[in-house]
Amino acid sequence: MAEPEALAAALLQLSAHAEKLSALDQREAGHAAETRDRITALTSMATAMQSTLADQAEILTGLTGLNVQVAELAARVDEIAPGDDGELAVYQPSASLRFWKLDGQARQDAITRLRAWVEQIYRPGYGHLSAALGDCWEQHPLCLYTLDWLSELWSVLYLQPRRTTGTLAGQAEWQTRLLTAAAEQLTRETSQCQHAAARNGASAKTGTRP
């Protein structure tokens, strides 16, 4: 081959190789860009996963001791839930007696319930405190209101299947402070009323003690 023709052929080959190299460079540049994008996406995913793991760790930390709390709640539910026989394990206070609205048979039924507690629990068990209660207490709204909450609180504290430290503290409070204050009110109400005056007058005429 003549020298000019050989030189032209070599230039053509070099040009072809240059185009291939350029195409290769562009392809590799595209691959590099794609790789960078994938690395960026993976980095973002890893960051999100790390945040999720941190949140889960915080949640797990908050769950520490949850089994103990669940056990305590279950024990309390067992105390207040009905048993197999349908009866409540813990005494439930009855509805408030609205003596300011009650009349007729409904009022008599409410007073009968209080009378049963006074005769069976209060008078036999609380000595001089209950002895000072006048027999006319049924005719005094103050006595009805007081004996209502006093009897219900007594039932809550004493009609329980087992005694806890809280129940024991409540019994002490009822016995030493609430009962004495209530008994003083009951005594004052039934010893300074017209019924007491009538009893005293009758006793003076017969020569007997009231």
What is Dmax (Cα atoms) for the chain? 166
CA angle 196, 202, 207 (to 5 degrees): 120
Which whole number is the average pLDDT over 110-121? Answer: 93
Amino acid type, 131: A
Question: pLDDT band for position 46 (50/70/90)?
Answer: low
Q: Is the pLDDT of residue 203 over 60?
A: no
Give the whole-angstrom CA distance, residue 107 versus residue 115. Answer: 12
Give the whole-angstrom CA distance, residue 84 versus residue 91. Answer: 16
Which whole number is the average pLDDT over 187-193? Answer: 87
Global pTM? 0.54
pLDDT of the residue at 47: 73
Question: pLDDT band for position 204 (50/70/90)?
Answer: very low
The pLDDT tens digits for 144-177 are 999 999 999 999 899 888 888 988 999 999 999 9
Question: pLDDT band for position 93 (50/70/90)?
Answer: confident
Question: pLDDT band for position 103 (50/70/90)?
Answer: confident
Report CA dihedral (32, 35, 40, 46) to the nearest 10 degrees: -150
Name the average pLDDT for the chain: 76
